[in-house]
Amino acid sequence: MRIPSLAALAALAALASLASLASPLPAQSNAERMANGAYTRSHDYDLVHQRIEVGDFNWDSLSFSGKLVTTLVARRPGFDSVILDAGHLLQITGVTDPAGVSLGSARSGDTLVIRLAKPAGFGDTVRFTLAYAGKVENGRGLTFLDPEGRPHRPRQIWSQGEDDNNHDWFPTYDFPNDRMTWEMVATVPASFTAVSNGRLVSDVRTARGRTMTWRQDKPASTYLVSLIVAPLVKIHDTWGTVPVDYYVYREDSARAWPLFHVTPDMIAVYSRLTGVRYPWAQYAQTTVADFFGGMENVSATTLVDWLPDPAAYLDRPWYQYILIPHELAHQWFGDLVTTENWANMWLNEGFAEFMPGQYWQVKQGRHLEDDYYLDEYRQFLQIDDDRRMPLAARASNNIYPKGALVLRMLERYLGNQRFWASVKRYLEQHAYDNATTDDLRQAVLDATGENLDWFWDQWMYQAGYPEFAVQAGYDAAARSLTLTVKQTQVDTSTADSTTGLRYSTPLVFRMPVTIRVGTASGDVVRNVMLDAREQTIRIDSIAAEPTMVIFDDGNRVLKKLSFEQPTSWLATQLQRDPDLWNRQWVIDQLAKRTTDDLAAQALAAAATGADYFLTRAQAVTALASFSQQAMPILEATIGDTSAAVRVATLDALGEVGGARAVEIGTDRFHHDPSYEVRAAAVAALAKADPAQRQAILTEAIASESYQDAIRNAAYGVIARTTDTTFLEVVNARVPMDENAVYVLAGMGRKGATRALDLLASHLNDERHYVRGWALNAFRNALPASLALPRLQAAQDSIQDPETRAAVAAAIEELKKK
């Protein structure tokens, strides 16, 4: 699964709280035992196969017809009843065994018990057919969508199983630690397509509609069962003999190939890196509306319908850079080998988040790889700062970026060959099966002979990361450099109030680091094992004062670093160090030395001359605080071939201000080919040019761009001020544009009561989705002190009963805050 990262949502984050994206689940144990086995569910059968037949979909009543044939094997003697998970809205109309004997059943909540005609013995196969009238609460298991007058949004249905919602639309065993094969027989309206897992085995048109039968003939966990029903066109591609199909709305046909055609190459690279050939009969990618991002349903990934237009590729769209390779990686990590329980979910998500960086390394080299993980590092710190949890823990909040970074660290530690041999061993030992965190440790041990128990303890089972405070001293007489390395991280997290469990942070992380010392006669390199709270490292035979000192050359350790150095060392490192994490760290140090000419020169050189755009962009950003000294450099960097550098330049120009900044900003706003650059120009001009502000914002709000980058930039400006000039303009956009409700909320938060009046009025909008947006804005983007009185005042005047009930529920929820 993948949702847009915080960075990708930056525009929206300015407008709304992201609280709704955060995991609300409680903390669990930091103990290895709890991570590996304690959360695995027990059951007394082995689910083997389900034939799932669905049809008669009704978008008004959210209903459908269902018939299910289940085959399982009893795993206890005297097996007289089958316990399945079944959504409480599914109405069971009949259960029969293969002899046609009607079987009894009983319900309690989401549990369905079927009583067999006679008890089965241990190892006996049991089969029964279950007919039901299906119905869902919209968004649980199945999501039914109607256009409601909105563009780019055909009528459709999509399923979402992970973690445990597939039982809301067909009775099954809804936990990852059992695997089955299945058939999906879906009868849909004649002009629609049904996409599901595995191989399409038949496609028949009858008076009832179109019946498409898919067969998943390799076992997978039930949360990976998928069904999409929509008017879609199929764009066919292949990897060898494997069909690689892209299902999109007809209007998106032209955008599908440029976006998705990277897929066969990604399949080839992943197959080669892992040593395990793509394991499924097909790979389908299907786009749907209102989806949170992507979901790796086995052999049939579901993706949000944000297909980039040609210009959007100038801004390296998240969709192609992260989302497609992330979900594809899950076909090995998550689908072929599946976490045994949700406490080990990082095995799914950490690997899926790790693999795109490896793909980009293979395709475009070291810098893009560093770039990828540097972004993960920023996310990791932010999440860790918010709440510190280990990787292997139930509801761990940091499994994506920390998982990716720890796996990268493991790769650096083991080296390329040993790492991939370990991964291959892990995938082969647990293929079509489940795994725990300790199984991965064992696979490394089996493949390399090295027991990384200590690594697992500090990086998987405990929380936190090392924070190094380094001091360097050169002794000319002794011709030696002495480094004092302290680990300053603290272990202060308190026990969870409900479980009593506490996540510890190691006071000492054990890790090898490389120290590189620049000298006039070449570099001196030392490998050192860090294994103490404080240690001293002496490097001899340094003939003269070093030209630079790199602590953790190659950035092999996930860390924070504090290391005071002369500017000249930093300047040399920035010029010479290929590692992007190290460069970013150096740039951060230089950025603080705003009265130091050497720092300004080093940044200027990097801004205009660095060999990778990210370094140039970061140097530009740092130069903003050097004020007027920056201007000549910004004049140059606005012409950079990289849109990201031009974005950084415009941000800096907004800070620096002045007539020339306005001139450049205006030009870029009107003429730059990149949406992100034009969006940055909006923000820069709003800062630098109060006179033109209104005209620019008006034009920006009317500008169409991929993912509304330009309009969102204007919204960001508007929501950050108390200026209500644009209140009515923004309000008029609400029916077309969810972000508009967050702008109203933002203005309301700043004291514009009229904005809150307008927001409340949308609770009575004739469109269901607008009412939902307005209510979500009250719940997620306003403090309870503002939202509660408004909702209470509006409550009685709300016409629609469903909305009135939702508002009442929101009021209760807000009262608890």
Query: Smallest gap, in angstroms, from Cβ of residue 260 to Zn ion?
Result: 18
Instruction: Rule CB under 5 A: say whether 2 interacts with Zn ion.
Output: yes
Q: Which amino acid is at 765?
A: D
- Count Cβ neighbours within 10 Å for each residue of 509-518 and write b for 16 or more, e otherwise: bebebbbbbb
Query: Smallest gap, in angstroms, from Cβ of residue 397 to Zn ion?
Result: 14
Question: Which is closer to Zn ion, CB of 36 or CB of 331?
Answer: 331
> For 729, left (φ over 0), alpha (ψ -120 to 50), or beta?
alpha
Query: Smallest gap, in angstroms, from Cβ of residue 355 to Zn ion?
Result: 10
Question: Which is closer to Zn ion, CB of 2 or CB of 693?
Answer: 2
The size of the interface with Zn ion (CB under 5 A), counted in residues, is: 4
Which residue stretch of 1-9, 467-475, 636-644, 652-660 sits at the interface with Zn ion (rule: CB under 5 A)? Answer: 1-9
Question: Which is closer to Zn ion, CB of 349 or CB of 553?
Answer: 349
| Rounded Cα distance, 515 and 264, in Å | 40
Query: Smallest gap, in angstroms, from Cβ of residue 352 to Zn ion?
Result: 4
Instruction: Rule CB under 5 A: say whether 1 interacts with Zn ion.
Output: yes
Long-range contacts of 788-792 (CB under 8 A, 24+ apart): 788/814, 788/815, 790/756, 790/759, 790/760, 791/760
Question: Which is closer to Zn ion, CB of 2 or CB of 441?
Answer: 2
Record the tokens describing residue 543, joined without a space. 């003939």
Query: Smallest gap, in angstroms, from Cβ of residue 67 to Zn ion?
Result: 32
Query: Smallest gap, in angstroms, from Cβ of residue 4 to Zn ion?
Result: 12
DSSP assignment of 692-703 equals THHHHHHHHHT-
Question: Which is closer to Zn ion, CB of 329 or CB of 682?
Answer: 329
| Rounded Cα distance, 632 and 656, in Å | 12
| Rounded Cα distance, 616 and 606, in Å | 6
Q: Scanning residues 331 to 390, which ones bind Zn ion (CB under 5 A)?
A: 349, 352
Residue with tokens 């039930």: 222
Question: Which is closer to Zn ion, CB of 29 or CB of 348?
Answer: 348
Query: What are the Cα distances from residue 249, in Å, to 152, 189, 580, 736?
Result: 8, 16, 39, 19
Question: Which is closer to Zn ion, CB of 402 or CB of 779?
Answer: 402
CB neighbour list of residue 36: distance below 8 Å, 6 or more residues apart = 343, 344, 392, 436, 437, 438
Query: Smallest gap, in angstroms, from Cβ of residue 402 to Zn ion?
Result: 14
Question: Which is closer to Zn ion, CB of 193 or CB of 302?
Answer: 302
Query: Smallest gap, in angstroms, from Cβ of residue 348 to Zn ion?
Result: 6
Question: Which is closer to Zn ion, CB of 260 or CB of 626?
Answer: 260
Residue with tokens 């992201």: 18
C-beta atoms surrounding 384 within 10 Å: 18
Residue with tokens 């509801």: 395
Q: Scanning residues 94 to 153, which ones bind Zn ion (CB under 5 A)?
A: none
Nearest to 27 by CA among 497, 505, 398: 497
Nearest to 485 by CA among 516, 547, 454, 531: 531
Q: What angle do CA 59, 62, 66 make, to 5 degrees?
A: 110
Query: Smallest gap, in angstroms, from Cβ of residue 158 to Zn ion?
Result: 17
* Residue 71: strand pairing partners: 49, 127
Query: Smallest gap, in angstroms, from Cβ of residue 495 to Zn ion?
Result: 30
Query: Smallest gap, in angstroms, from Cβ of residue 738 to Zn ion?
Result: 24
Nearest to 508 by CA among 529, 482, 493, 537: 529
| Rounded Cα distance, 10 and 25, in Å | 24
Sign of CA dihedral 329, 334, 339, 345: positive
Instruction: Rule CB under 5 A: say whether 404 interacts with Zn ion.
Output: no
Query: Smallest gap, in angstroms, from Cβ of residue 2 to Zn ion?
Result: 5
Question: Which is closer to Zn ion, CB of 1 or CB of 539?
Answer: 1
Task: Provide the mask over 196-225, with x wherever binding to Zn ion is found by CB under 5 A and - wherever it is not.
Answer: ------------------------------
Residue with tokens 């897992």: 197
Instruction: Rule CB under 5 A: say whether 304 interacts with Zn ion.
Output: no
C-beta atoms surrounding 138 within 10 Å: 13
Query: Smallest gap, in angstroms, from Cβ of residue 706 to Zn ion?
Result: 23
CB neighbour list of residue 449: distance below 8 Å, 6 or more residues apart = none
Which residue stretch of 2-10, 172-180, 552-560, 599-607 sits at the interface with Zn ion (rule: CB under 5 A)? Answer: 2-10
Question: Which is closer to Zn ion, CB of 372 or CB of 726?
Answer: 372
Question: Which is closer to Zn ion, CB of 329 or CB of 515?
Answer: 329
Query: Smallest gap, in angstroms, from Cβ of residue 335 to Zn ion?
Result: 11
Query: Smallest gap, in angstroms, from Cβ of residue 266 to Zn ion?
Result: 15
Q: Scanning residues 240 to 259, which ones bind Zn ion (CB under 5 A)?
A: none
CB neighbour list of residue 475: distance below 8 Å, 6 or more residues apart = 481, 482
Question: Which is closer to Zn ion, CB of 2 or CB of 779?
Answer: 2
Question: Which is closer to Zn ion, CB of 2 or CB of 616?
Answer: 2
Q: What phi, psi does 497 have (nearest 5°)?
A: -70, -25
Are 672 and 662 in contact by the 8 Å Cβ rule? The answer is: no
| Rounded Cα distance, 244 and 229, in Å | 19
Strand order in the sheet with 104-108: 79-85, 111-120, 104-108
What is the widest separation between alpha-carbon atoms in the chain? 96
Query: Smallest gap, in angstroms, from Cβ of residue 572 to Zn ion?
Result: 40
* Residue 336: strand pairing partners: none
Are 339 and 31 in contact by the 8 Å Cβ rule? The answer is: no
Question: Which is closer to Zn ion, CB of 1 or CB of 74?
Answer: 1
Q: Scanning residues 405 to 444, which ones bind Zn ion (CB under 5 A)?
A: none
| Rounded Cα distance, 66 and 562, in Å | 61
Are 466 and 509 in contact by the 8 Å Cβ rule? The answer is: yes
Question: Which is closer to Zn ion, CB of 318 or CB of 509?
Answer: 318
Residue ranges in contact with Zn ion by CB under 5 A = 1-2, 349, 352
